[in-house]
Amino acid sequence: DAMVIQNPRYQVTQFGKPVTLSCSQTLNHNVMYWYQQKSSQAPKLLFHYYDKDFNNEADTPDNFQSRRPNTSFCFLDIRSPGLGDAAMYLCATKRDHPETQYFGPGTRLLVL
């Protein structure tokens, strides 16, 4: 089945130690998104790629970076994780049209 895959499902890191989260998709969608979701809150968009074009949200901290080496893969890099970065990180994809986004299962990040 075509799908959005996120690895790992759970990630534990230390305060200040860089961490990378991975997303891959077999849907051949050209748009990919990264969201941060804290407990009992709605997902918050961090950034998205439209093909190779990177679109950062204005309030996304510089500590968060992303890479998209090809259509299928997208990475979220957190350069110096703080305790406040502990959250669920969701990847989503879509085609140009329609607007429907398809989400992966998420990676839960714990910062010690």
Partner 1 sequence: AQSVTQLDSHVSVSEGTPVLLRCNYSSSYSPSLFWYVQHPNKGLQLLLKYTSAATLVKGINGFEAEFKKSETSFHLTKPSAHMSDAAEYFCVVSKNTDKLIFGTGTRLQVFP
Residues pairing with 109 in the sheet = 11, 87
Sequence-ordered list of residues with C-beta below 8 angstroms from that of 53, at least 6 positions apart, any chain: none
Q: Is 81 in the site for partner 1 (CB under 8 A)?
A: no
Beta strands at 10-13 and 107-111: parallel, antiparallel or unpaired: parallel
Binding mask 28-67 for partner 1 (x = CB under 8 A): ---x--------xxxx-x--x-x----x------------
Q: Is 6 in the site for partner 1 (CB under 8 A)?
A: yes
Beta carbon nearer to partner 1, 41 or 80? 41
Q: In the 3-class helix/strand/coil scheme, how is 52-65 assigned residue by residue?
A: CEEEECCCCCCCEE
Q: Is 103 in the site for partner 1 (CB under 8 A)?
A: yes
How far is residue 54's CA from residue 60's CA, in Å, rounded to a whole number?
13
Q: Is 104 in the site for partner 1 (CB under 8 A)?
A: yes
By the criterion CB under 8 A, which residues form the site for partner 1?
4, 6, 31, 40-43, 45, 48, 50, 55, 88, 90, 92, 96-106, 108
